A and B are shown apart, each in its own frame.
Chain A
Amino acid sequence: EVQLVESGGGLVQPGGSLRLSCAASGFTFSNHWMYWIRQVPGKGLVWVSRIKYDGGFTSYADSVKGRFITSRDNAKNTLYLEMSSLRVDDTAIYYCARDYSSVPDHWGQGTLVTVTS
């Protein structure tokens, strides 16, 4: 069974940094591109980033480009999102998701990031 478990969320001040992790199991992690997607509670989903299966390519939404970095450790079956220069409007639930044919198929349960002073 595919399982994705996010962690690392919490409370952070504007301008601060945070690193999210996503532990994957139940599939061959190193064969799949992966996504980060966020959602303000009660609002819509927003694509944040995608990373190639070998970590050799990443893409980002304009709203996070230059502030967020997505990486992965295939030996540890773990996906990361390094967030810096955080803003109040980065407050959201952050989901990791597996890619299947250029579509996010399986999603984790999410981790909440709250940016507030």
Chain B
Amino acid sequence: QSALTQPRSVSGSPGQSVTISCTGTTSDVGGYNYVSWYQQYPGKAPKLVIFDVTQRPSGVPDRFSGSKSANTASLTVSGLQADDEADYFCCSYAGSQTWVFGGGTKLTVL
């Protein structure tokens, strides 16, 4: 149950796009399409922004998109806005009824 690997930080200017990676193994990210992404503001609960690799919950802007290639999942935020500045965490099913999260990425809007 090792944590998924995410970059500690990414940044971009308003209007630009940024991509956050989430690297696991064939036992988690690469083995299942149960990858989800969460946005978390300081002191607040995480909010689901992507599930099942590419699906957006209702109410989440289409500026948020997800993808996966082999053992790496990615979250892309396009048309960056100031309120996209937050921590982002990935999560994957890891088999045998266990789940694993990434260490989190701080997105800074310059």
Contacts and interface: CB of A to CB of B under 8 A. Distances in A.
A103 B52 contact: yes
User: Do most interface residues of chain A lie in helix, strand or loop, or is the interface mixed?
Assistant: strand
Assign chain A's interface to a size class.
Answer: 20 to 34
Assign chain B's interface to a size class.
Answer: 20 to 34
B24 interface: no
B53 to A, nearest CB: 10
Contacts, number: 63
Contact of A101 (B1, B3, B51): B51
Nearest to B45: A107
B51 A100 contact: yes
A45 B97 CA distance: 17
Interface of A: 35, 37, 43-47, 50, 57, 59, 61-63, 95, 100-110
28 contacts: A43-B104, A44-B89, A44-B101, A44-B102, A44-B103, A44-B104, A45-B46, A45-B91, A45-B101, A46-B3, A46-B101, A47-B98, A47-B100, A47-B101, A50-B97, A50-B99, A59-B98, A61-B98, A63-B1, A100-B51, A102-B34, A102-B93, A104-B48, A105-B48, A105-B57, A107-B47, A109-B44, A109-B45
